[in-house]
Amino acid sequence: MKKTAFLGALTVASIAASAAVAQDVSTVDQIKERGKLNCGVTTGLVGFAAPDANGTWNGFDVGVCRAVAAAVLGDANAVEFVPTTGKTRFTALASGEIDMLARNTTWTFSRDVDLKFEFVGVNYYDGQGFMVSKDLGASSAKELDGATVCIQTGTTTELNLADFFRANDMSYEPVPIETNAEAQQQYLAGACDVYTTDASGLAATRATFEDPAGHVLLPEIISKEPLGPLVRHGDNNWGDVVRWTLNALVSAEELGVTSANIGELGASAGDNPEINRLLGTEGNLGEMLGLDAEWAKRAIMAGGNYGELFAKNIGEDTPIALARGLNAQWTEGGLLYSPPFR
């Protein structure tokens, strides 16, 4: 009996000890030792994360992962992309299987506080919108009384939809669907008049139609969906690294630093002190973060600044053709506002 108790105590102690050891090593050190950043992404979302035919991941969220990997490890390709589903993403992050999650995840109170995660910022301001066929003749979501609506079950969009119709004293008939692919088929087959999901998703869906001009996105956006990368509680320094990497991408656009001119601007200290501090030619911001001086320079070189990432993956020149809208810099009427690098 005594012996069993002793063995049990030993096991508990050793597990606790190994846990303590694991927690003492900072996330940055773990990543450096591993040589790879484990970044959780979606299993596939147009424009945000998708593997190409060679298996290389591309997209807007993927760009954030690559920037962080470039800042910490100096190699934008040193990322292990871990595909996560809506059901597995939070446990994957909480259990340490991934170091950060960049998976178009809406920043909400309960996720931030109750699930013990830290949203480090917002990389895309999304919102729920409506798409209807032009033949329906609706020009506003307020005219949708009595419509059949294709809606993904078990998401916040379902609740938002109910709230919106109730607030406007209208009725609707939901057509529950499971995936975006199914929604496209149902909507095109005429099973529903309206398809509602995040506006970025609607734009991507419409771009695949044979006749995109035959469908309109209604002007109403009925919810706030700030999507951003997140890390788990417990390692604030790692949270800072991810937060300021994202901020560096945003600031770079604001300051006019692009992947084209960064070599020139970063070679030596220039006239603009903020650019100098950002690119490490002045001051010791990198050192404060526990990285070297050129961390932000590498992050920006990985895929360009925020504007370049946006334009390349989801911007107006891509088939998805999203306008900057809320995601423009604050100087241009948007919400992107990076705290100063000082």
Query: In whole angstroms, how close is the CB of 282 to other proteins at the nearest point?
Result: 33
Closest contact distance (angstroms) between CB of 113 and other proteins is: 19
Q: Judged by CB, which is closer to other proteins: 40, or 304?
A: 40
Residue of 340, 342, 336 lying closest to 123 (CA atoms): 336
Minimum distance from residue 116 beta carbon to other proteins (Å): 13
Distance CA 191, CA 182 (A): 11
94 or 255: whose CB is closer to other proteins?
94
Question: CA–CA distance from 249 to each of 65, 97, 106, 150 (Å)?
Answer: 12, 26, 20, 36
| Helix or strand run (H / E) with residue 82 | strand 79-84
Nearer to other proteins, 23 or 284 (CB): 23
Q: Which is nearer to other proteins, 219 or 319 (CB)?
A: 319
As to burial, measured by CB atoms within 10 angstroms (0-12 exposed, 13-18 middle, 19+ buried), residue 265 is buried
| Minimum separation from the CB atom of position 167 to other proteins (A) | 32
Shortest Å distance, C-beta 15 to other proteins: 5
Is 23 or 140 the residue whose CB approaches other proteins more closely?
23
CB of 313 to other proteins, least distance (A): 10
Nearest CB to other proteins, comparing residues 14 and 261: 14
What is d(CA 251, CA 124) in angstroms, rounded to the nearest whole number? 15
In the complex, minimum distance from the CB of residue 58 to other proteins, in angstroms, rounded to a whole number: 9
Nearer to other proteins, 15 or 267 (CB): 15
Q: Which residues bind other proteins (CB under 8 A)?
A: 15, 18-19, 21-23, 30, 42-47, 49-56, 59, 77, 80, 82-85, 87-88, 91-92, 94-97, 179-181, 184-185, 204-205, 207-210, 318-320
Taking the complex as a whole, how short is the minimal distance between the CB of residue 12 and other proteins, in angstroms? 11
Considering only CA atoms, which of 107, 108, 61, 125 is closest in space to residue 335?
Answer: 125
In terms of C-beta density within 10 A (0-12 exposed, 13-18 middle, 19 or more buried), how is residue 8 classed?
A: exposed
Handedness of CA 296, 298, 301, 306 (dihedral sign): negative
Query: CA-CA distances (angstroms) from residue 240 to 110, 142, 247, 342?
Result: 21, 43, 10, 14
Nearer to other proteins, 164 or 195 (CB): 195
Which alpha helices (H) appear in 74-190, and where do they start and end?
Answer: 89-94, 109-113, 156-167, 180-188
Min separation Cβ 304 and other proteins, Å: 19
Q: Which is nearer to other proteins, 10 or 288 (CB)?
A: 10
In one-letter notation, the amino acid at residue 84 is T
Q: Where are the alpha helices (DSSP H) in the chain?
A: 2-24, 27-34, 60-73, 89-94, 109-113, 156-167, 180-188, 199-207, 236-255, 262-267, 273-279, 285-288, 295-303, 306-313
| Adjacent-strand bridge partners of 194 | 132, 149
